[in-house]
Amino acid sequence: MTFLRELLAVILGIFISFFIMFMVMIAVASVAGSSLGGSKEINVKSNTILTLKLEEEIKDYAPKGSDPFEEILGFGDNKMGLNTIINAIENAKYDDNIIGISIETLQINAGIAQTQAIRNKLFEFKESGKFITAYADYYDQKNYYLSSVSDSIYVNPVGGIDFKGLGGHLLYFKDFQDKYGVKMEVIRHGKYKSAVEPFLENEMSDANREQTQAFLNSIWGEMVDDIASSRNKSNEEINHIADELLARNPKLAVNNGMINNEYFRDQYDDMLKGLSETPEDEKLNIINLKDYINTGKGRISSSSKNKIAIIYAQGDIMYGKGDENYIGQEMIIKALKKARKSSSVKAIVLRVNSPGGSALASDLIWRELELTKEEKPLVVSMGNLAASGGYYIACNADRIFAEPTTITGSIGVFGMLPNFSGLTERLGINAEQIGTNKQSIGYSPFEPISEGFYTVTKEGVERIYTTFINRVAKGRNMTFEAVDKIAQGRVWTGKEAVENGLVDALGSLDDAVAAAAELAEVDEYKVRNYPDYKKNLEDLFKTPFSGKTQRVLKEELGADNYNIYKSIKEMTQLKGIQTRLPFLLEIK
């Protein structure tokens, strides 16, 4: 009896300890939540300069979590939403307290199309008559492209500009597979469908080189056009500077008109004081973008009861629920139904930023979009990527908009399975199978792929490819043959996609929203964002410290190596037949 009493006392003590710890966490969360929620009021003073550093990862849509535990325990990602950045710049244009913008970013953690969208909005801001200046210790190409919209650009005297044109690299694994006996079995359709090429060859195919060179040239052409216009130069001059590296140090950059002057930081601050007419003995009135957004400037206010729903589909397409990092059919379908049933929602815009993924999930979303289009106008806006499965879910809209630098198309299909038979044979491991029927074993990663399994899987790939082409042909009012000609896994930029009929017009998310309102015949409206990303405490603990883990990996591996690690990991986790972007290419 004594033992039982002691055991019960221990159990009770543990229970009470956990209960107290839980209550303490709730109290801390409550205090932190109130401090995060704005007990410190942020005021925008008169004669204020808005600073853009853009250090966080920029997503098309990054709603702030409502659960204080997410911030306290480090579950949240350090991110900003493109939509809130664009809205903040739009509000700053009309804000009498904001006299100008200072771009002070070292590295933009955003895609080319997102960067171009921010640049275009900054150009609109400058047209209001307010100034924009830029300063950095060092400019990479993306940062310089954004900063080139400024009236004047300054660099640290020992800094420089990495301005040389766009390029990228692909890793090929065929020799590695042959050497170690670990390979990927591949079944594909599309001569350009080269997502799997690195596992089949040891060098770039002519088809892949053709498409890659084409879209790099198209994106670079857009950047050169914009930079040349802002710096009052010809395209030929800009390309000559890139070819000869004539901006590699501050003096060359100044002499060739890429930079206005070389300043130390204190000299730049003095220049800002002159622009803002701030006395030398006083501090500049400065507010950073994040604080400006937290004052409510990340939204465009409207009293209208009419709504245009924007449904954000961002990340890889995977079968399942989905969240803000990947597209699952469950969450997108739920958002579409909710927007469709709302009497205040007059039209729907699907914002796609995805390299594609699961063919099954893509088709399930496509079907729900078909049902939605029967009831309300449906417009698609493409971000950095709307390729393969990303294009699959876009193709049936009433209108499709893309940024000039959007990567889209890639209408092709593949299946990929890991195979370790070469390795197990070398290690002397023999895998035996036993089953009730001829095909009951299916595919074994420890045996070479059988002719029967390959035939059946190839049949599935061809069936989905045909379905994909038919979906596009119906949505774009084209013939099967016409779509097939520009499909085959070929990648296009948004500018090229307008020319070949895959996209209706070049434009931003705002342009797509305006088009949706026009189709719905409403003049006054406000925007309602979907899906609603909500995590309960149980969801947070399923992936403990994921945000912190990613940050640590990035710090330890470096951004470039982390992206390679992430891409390879994603490729090895693919399940089922895929409609996915045809390569892993980091553009620089």
Confidence band of 570 (pLDDT split at 50, 70, 90): low
Q: Is residue 495 a contact partner of residue 404, using CB atoms and an 8 Å limit?
A: yes
Alpha-carbon distance of 493 to 372, in angstroms, equals 27
Confidence band of 205 (pLDDT split at 50, 70, 90): confident
Alpha-carbon distance of 18 to 278, in angstroms, equals 56
Residue 91 zone, left/alpha/beta (φ > 0; ψ -120 to 50; rest):
alpha
Mean pLDDT of the region 490-518? 96
Which residues fall within 8 angstroms of residue 21, CB to CB, at 6 or more apart? none
Confidence band of 46 (pLDDT split at 50, 70, 90): very high
Strand order, beta sheet including 131-136: 261-262, 152-155, 131-136, 98-103, 48-52, 286-288
Confidence band of 37 (pLDDT split at 50, 70, 90): very low
DSSP annotation of 197:
G
For residue 545, what pLDDT is reported? Answer: 42
Do 307-433+445-580 and 48-163+245-297 fall under one CATH topology?
yes
Mean pLDDT of the chain: 85
Closest CA to 166 of 152, 137, 136, 145: 145
**pLDDT over 90, % of the chain:** 59
Mean pLDDT of the region 331-349? 96
Residue 479 CB-density burial (10 A; 0-12 exposed, 13-18 middle, 19+ buried): exposed
Residue-wise pLDDT tens digits, 151-191: 999 999 999 899 999 987 788 888 888 888 888 888 887 66
What is the pTM (predicted TM-score) of this model? 0.84
Alpha-carbon distance of 569 to 573, in angstroms, equals 6
Alpha-carbon distance of 279 to 569, in angstroms, equals 55
127-142 per-residue burial string, b: 16 or more CB within 10 A, e: under 16: eeebbbbbbbebbbbb
Ranked by mean pLDDT, the top range of 360-364, 447-451, 459-463, 538-542 is 360-364
Fold of 48-163+245-297: 2-enoyl-CoA Hydratase; Chain A, domain 1 (3.90.226)
Instruction: Reply yes or no on whether the pLDDT at 222 is more than 50.
Output: yes
Q: Is residue 308 a contact partner of residue 516, using CB atoms and an 8 Å limit?
A: yes
* Secondary structure (3-state) at 374: coil
For residue 1, what pLDDT is reported? Answer: 55
Residue 187 phi/psi, 5-degree rounding, is -130, 125
Mean pLDDT of the region 55-61? 91
Query: What are the extents of the domains in the chain?
Result: 48-163+245-297, 307-433+445-580
SS3 per residue for 99-137: EEEEECCCCCCCCHHHHHHHHHHHHHHHHCCCEEEEEEC
Closest CA to 207 of 16, 410, 401: 410
The full DSSP string for 492-507 is: EEHHHHHHHTS-SEE-
Q: If you search the block for the tokens 């803002």, which residue do you land on? A: 276
For residue 544, what pLDDT is reported? Answer: 42
Bridge partners, residue 261, by sequence: 154
Alpha-carbon distance of 488 to 475, in angstroms, equals 18
Alpha-carbon distance of 354 to 60, in angstroms, equals 11
Residue-wise pLDDT tens digits, 441-477: 778 888 888 888 888 888 988 999 999 999 999 999 9
Torsion over CA: 166, 357, 322, 573 (sign): negative
Q: If you search the block for the tokens 């009021």, which residue do you land on? A: 41
Instruction: Reply yes or no on whether the pLDDT at 33 is more than 50.
Output: no
Domain 307-433+445-580: which CATH number of 3.90.226.10, 3.40.50.300, 3.30.420.310, 3.40.190.10: 3.90.226.10
Closest CA to 336 of 353, 349, 323: 349
For residue 181, what pLDDT is reported? Answer: 85
User: Structure tokens of 559?
Assistant: 């951004």
